[in-house]
Each structure stands twice: as C-alpha cells, then as structure tokens.
Amino acid sequence: MRAVVVSGEGSAAAMVADEVVRQGGRAILLREGPRSCALRQPGGIEVVASRLIAVKGVPGSMLAVLEDGELECSSVVIVNDLHISSPRPPAEPLRNLFRTLPAGTVVLDLRGGPDRGGRAQALRAAIAMLDEGSEVVVLTDEVLAYGRDELLYRQAQRDGAMFIRPGSLEWSGDLLKIADAVTGDVISVRPTAVLSESEVEEHLADQGTVSMGPSATLRRGVLRVRANLLDDELATEARAAATLALRPPSPLHPAEVDETQCSACLTCVRICPFSAPYMNGSGKASVDPGRCRACGKCVAACAGKAITIQGSTDQELDARIMAAMEGR
C-alpha cells in the first residue's frame, strides 16, 4: 500500500489525508505538537506530531525527514495558505505600479499573487520600465505560464528583467540580499522602489493563479495544495492531489541537446521554469537531468531545433496519432 505524507494543519490537510485513504492509500498526517507521538485516527489516518524538514529520494521511494526521525513514503503533499511576508515593511502596494512607473532599480514581489490578470499587468509594467532604462527584479513563486502569459514572461526576460524564486531575503541597510532557491546564488541589489502584493489590504494569495489544481513543485514527488480555497474547490484539489500522489511515477525522459545545432542563444536558459538548461564549457547548452521535468518549453522555443525529448519529435507524434486513429 502506497504511503503518502501530508504536512499541514486544519481541515484542508485532513481532507487531503481522507482522500488518500479513500483512494486506497495509507495517509500519514503531520501535525506540529509539543512532543512526538503516533496516533491512529478513525478512517485509517496515522497522525504524527512532528514537523517536515526535508524530503529525500525519488517518487515511489522517498523519505520525509522530520525533526526527530524519517518516514518512508511514496510522495509528499504540503498543505498551506502560502502566506507571503513583505520583503520590507515600507514596500508600496503593487496596485501603485499601475498608476505611476517608478524608476531606477525596482523590485516586484509577485509571490503568492496577484491573480493571472494582475501578473500580466505587472509584467507589462516591468517591460515598460525596462524600456525606460530601469532595472527590474521580479520575486516569484512557481508559476506555470502558457499562451500570452508565457509570451509576456519571455519578453520581460529578453528585455533584461531578472526573475528569482527567493529562498530568503535579508536587508542590510538599503542593500537587499536575495538567495535564489533554485541555484543557491545570492543576488544583492539596492532598490529604489519595492512593490509587494502582500501590502494590499485584501489578501489575494493564491486566488486565481495561472495553474488550477495541485501545484507541482521543483521536487518530483512533492505536491502543494492551497488551503485558502472555497470548499468545493478545496475538495476537488484534494481529490486531484491524492490521485497524483498515489499514481505510480512514470519514467521521465529529460531534454537532450544536439550541440551541433545549438546556436548558444540562451533562450532555453531564460525560459525554463526549473532552471535545468545551462551553458557548458564548450559554450553550448546542456540540460541538468536532475532538474528537467520534461515540460517541453525549451523544445518548442529552440530556434535551431537543437533540443529534443524522447517521444516528442514530429515523427514520433505522427506515429502515435496514426496508431490512435487506426485503433492500435
């Protein structure tokens, strides 16, 4: 029986654990408590009073590292409200960005919000500020963009915006140090303006995000469920999270680069949501297989057709379509 560790407080986490049990899995619900204990709750949910520290392993064979031990599991679901703190108390509300455009070095904090339309507005404003000679640093969470959204992200990156998924923020006087959660690099800037979604009066975190359903994270086998949803939305997301957590992991074929066709344009490096592509010692693109999630963005964007993913070539897709049409 597959075991799924569910980390979170409140009814939302319990709903996810219930769904895991209902779908035939074993649910281990982590709750912070004054001491370590394991209790068997009605419905087959095992409750452990501890806090999740880290996750090791691969989907199907993972270890949830707790404050006082480890738990074997097939996957982990983290349930939270994604409460985002402002990078600095005097940050301006993000809505001010749409009234006047600040100049200089501008930090836009888009973590946890705004909604899809608000993000598009913020990106258009960032592009306008870049055109006027400003520097723009965008703090963002894990966002899946598509269609026109993706075009805006690409244009902002092409125009010079720096996108960072911050692991931590630290102020030293007027110097802001940002630790990149993906690369571990520390970027230091002296902003002339900081605009933060968390400063608006109404709490908008996670409302109308680009991707509905349980959010994939940078770590395979780890899902995040948003707790601050309407009841029917939460029930749907809990069911989907349990289904994904219990599903046997499919083999992942990372993207591959043909260096003879790579023009070193850096497009793949700029647009990858998981920071998998990088420039190797030969000045050509390579892909870190540990980070690649085979999403196909780099394949679609590569002008030289230097990047492929197993099963995604035109010939392979044509063969699959023909087989489906012929009932094979």
User: Mind listing the pLDDT tens digit for each residue in 270-314?
Assistant: 888 778 899 998 999 999 887 787 878 888 889 899 999 887 666
Residue 24 has pLDDT above 60, yes or no: yes
CATH of domain 92-199: 3.50.50.60
**Among 16-30, 86-100, 171-185, the range of highest mean pLDDT:** 16-30
Average pLDDT (199-215) is 39
Degrees, nearest 5: CA angle 4-82-119: 125
Q: Is the pLDDT of residue 130 over 90?
A: yes
At residue 72, the pLDDT reads 93
Query: pLDDT per residue over 222-233, tens digit each?
Result: 888 877 677 777
Is residue 88 very low, low, confident or very high in pLDDT (cuts 50, 70, 90)? low
Please state, in angstroms and rounded to a whole number, the distance separating the CA atoms of residues 228 and 209: 12
DSSP class of residue 91 equals P
**CA-CA distance, 129 to 87, in Å (whole number)?**
20
Topology of domain 3-81+209-246 in CATH is FAD/NAD(P)-binding domain (3.50.50)
Quote the mean pLDDT of the chain. 79
The pLDDT, as a whole number, for residue 327 is 65
Task: Answer whether residue 114 shows pLDDT above 70.
Answer: no
pLDDT at 286: 94
User: Ramachandran region of residue 221, left (φ > 0), alpha (ψ -120 to 50) or beta?
Assistant: left
User: What local confidence, expressed as pLDDT, does residue 148 receive?
Assistant: 66
- The answer, yes or no, to whether residue 260 has pLDDT greater than 80, is yes
Residue whose C-alpha is closest to residue 1's, from 40, 28, 30, 29 = 28
Domain 256-325 matching CATH 3.30.70.20: the answer reads yes
236 Cβ contact partners less than 8 Å away, ≥ 6 residues apart: 213
Tell me the whole-structure pTM to 2 decimals: 0.49
* Position 42 pLDDT exceeds 60: no
Q: What pLDDT was estimated at residue 140?
A: 82
In this structure, are strands 26-31 and 45-49 parallel, antiparallel, or unpaired? parallel
Decide: helix, strand or coil at residue 264: coil
Runs of H (alpha helix) within 159-296: 231-246, 267-271
The pLDDT of residue 84 is: 44
Least confident of 81-85, 147-151, 309-313: 81-85
Q: What φ, ψ does residue 93 adopt, rounded to 5°? A: -60, 145
Could you tell me if 98 and 121 are in contact, meaning their C-beta atoms sit under 8 angstroms apart? yes
Q: Is 92-199's fold the same as 256-325's? A: no
pLDDT over 50 (residue 201): no
Q: Domain extents for the chain? A: 3-81+209-246, 92-199, 256-325
- Looking at residue 50, the DSSP 8-state letter turns out to be -
pLDDT score, position 306: 94
